[in-house]
Amino acid sequence: MRLVDPDHRRPGIPAAPDPGRAFKLVHLSDFHLCRAQGAPLTAWASKRSLSFLAWQTHRRHENRPAVLSAMIQALVKISWDQVVVTGDLIQLGLPAEFRLARRYLEAIGPPERVLVIPGNHDALVKAPFADSLALWSGYLSGDLPFRGPAAAPPVFPTLRIRRHVALIGLSSAHATRPFSAAGSLGAPQRARLAQILTETSRQGYFRVVLLHHPLLPGQVSRRKSLTDAPALRALLRRHGAELVLHGHAHRDLRGALAGPAGAIPVLGLPSTSAAHPANERRACLRVFSIQRAGDRWKIEVQDHRYTANGQVVVLPAASP
């Protein structure tokens, strides 16, 4: 079955072009921008109070706007084709934070070159679309004809085709009970993902699956987990992907999942705003170089890491 858009009138995905030069994909995650000033008292009669307490006690010391700005300055100095941001751009889910995050996204690049998926903090509490994710609408959107109306919440998975790369954005973000940072995809989203993976594989694309919560077992506690991760892992084992990227754990995580054509690299990124003493938790932007090599894909990974003395250093490129 060929993939069509939601109104079932437009054709599916065209064949991938010749890869030509390497495609440069940059991964960022977990900005945790916080702006509580000016919020009405009614805004705090919710899970926001707990999230603000976490900000005051520890997160504000680690997640610093100055670090995020330094990483963005490093980013604009390098050549890249597309940036992906895997959620938790904000801390409290307030409209002022959505507007602030929009300004940071604009500093990175225009919406057609920057793809965002939401994290659990971006959906901390139920909020009107117009005061929340609508403020990032262009950055959340997939390509026409595979998206819904512009004024409506995005339909996930989102799909962007960039040269020989298919970027597939999932959303595990929804409001949960207090003390929970868990997420889930749900059966409808997984079913659409299976269809997208099948069609993009048939057409010869390098498939990158983006989600906020970690995919592999044991990487976060149960209260922070993707509750339907076993179902997603089973789906990827059947349908395959070339790369899975996530955030949420705030540390460098590297693993793999068995796929139908070999191992699928699964990589998690530290917070892009983190001034953490531990190297594996310090701010990093990760650049993937993706190119066809005969009948196989060649991937190189290069980290640009924030150092303890406030510099951004470029580490040697390696395989994922």
| pLDDT of 295 | 85
Q: Is residue 319 part of a domain?
A: no
Q: Report the range of poorest mean pLDDT among 37-51, 54-68, 203-217, 229-243.
A: 37-51
Q: pLDDT band for 2, please (50, 70, 90 cuts).
A: very low
pLDDT surpasses 50 at 288: yes
pTM, 2 dp = 0.94
CA distance 83 to 62: 23
- CA atoms in the 13 A half-sphere facing the CB of 261: 11
Q: Is residue 11 part of a domain?
A: no
Average of pLDDT values for 2-27?
Answer: 71
Quick one: which of 184, 193, 241, 246 has its CA closest to 219?
246
| pLDDT of 9 | 38
Q: Report the range of poorest mean pLDDT among 7-16, 207-216, 262-271.
A: 7-16
On whether the CB atoms of residues 227 and 214 are closer than 8 A, the answer is no
Quick one: which of 278, 215, 289, 223 has its CA closest to 252?
278
The residue range of the domain holding 52 is: 25-314
| pLDDT of 145 | 62
| pLDDT of 223 | 95
Q: Is residue 278 part of a domain?
A: yes
CA distances from 225 to 63, 98, 114, 248, 264 (A): 21, 24, 26, 9, 20
Q: Is residue 5 part of a domain?
A: no
pLDDT surpasses 90 at 153: no
Average of pLDDT values for 167-186?
Answer: 95
Q: Is residue 15 part of a domain?
A: no
Q: Is residue 68 part of a domain?
A: yes
Average of pLDDT values for 178-185?
Answer: 94
| pLDDT of 19 | 78
CA distance 206 to 16: 9
Helix (H, G, I), strand (E, B) or coil at 4: coil
pLDDT surpasses 80 at 292: yes
Greater confidence (49 vs 5) lies with 49
Q: pLDDT band for 4, please (50, 70, 90 cuts).
A: very low
- CA atoms in the 13 A half-sphere facing the CB of 114: 23
Average of pLDDT values for 256-262?
Answer: 96
116, two tokens: 């965002």
| pLDDT of 231 | 98
- Which CATH number fits the domain that encloses residue 55? 3.60.21.10
pLDDT surpasses 80 at 155: yes
CA distance 227 to 192: 18
Average of pLDDT values for 262-287?
Answer: 96
| pLDDT of 20 | 80
CA distances from 9 to 2, 142, 158 (A): 12, 17, 18
Helix (H, G, I), strand (E, B) or coil at 62: helix
Report the amino acid identity of residue 219: Q
Q: pLDDT band for 39, please (50, 70, 90 cuts).
A: confident
Q: pLDDT band for 115, please (50, 70, 90 cuts).
A: very high
Beta bridge partners of 312: 306
Average of pLDDT values for 192-211?
Answer: 96
- Among residues of the chain, what percentage have pLDDT more than 90? 78
| pLDDT of 10 | 43
pLDDT surpasses 90 at 75: yes
Work out the number of other CB atoms within 10 angstroms of the CB of residue 232: 23
Average of pLDDT values for 161-170?
Answer: 97
| pLDDT of 38 | 80
Q: Is residue 291 part of a domain?
A: yes
92, two tokens: 């409290």
Please provide the average confidence, as pLDDT, over all residues in the chain: 92
* Number of domains, the chain: 1
Q: pLDDT band for 12, please (50, 70, 90 cuts).
A: confident
Q: Is residue 124 part of a domain?
A: yes
